[in-house]
Amino acid sequence: MKRGILLIALAAVTAFADDVYLRGGGQITGEIVTRSEDSVTVDIGGGATITARMSSIVSIEEGISPLQEYRDRAGNISAGDAEAWRELAQWATGQMLASQASKAYHEVIAILPDDEGANRALGRVRLGGKWVTEQESYLARGYVEFDGEWMTPAERKTILVNRRGREEAARQANLAAIEEIEAEQEAEQERDAAERREVRNDNLPGLGDPVFWGWGGGPTSWPQPSGEW
Look at the domain 64-131 and name its fold. 1.25.40
The 10s digit of each residue's pLDDT in 108-137 is 999 999 999 999 999 999 998 899 988 888
User: What residues contact 84, with CB distance under 8 A and at least 6 apart?
Assistant: 3, 7, 77, 78
Q: Which residues of the chain have pLDDT under 50?
A: 1-15, 212-213, 229
CA 92 to CA 106: how far, in whole Å?
13
DSSP 62: -
The 10s digit of each residue's pLDDT in 57-71 is 999 988 777 888 899
Select the CATH number that applies to the domain covering 17-63 from these four: 1.10.3720.10, 3.30.1360.200, 2.30.30.100, 1.20.1250.20. 2.30.30.100
Q: What is the residue-wise DSSP string for 127-176?
A: ETTEEEEHHHHHHHTT-EEETTEEE-HHHHHHHHHHHHHHHHHHHHHHHH
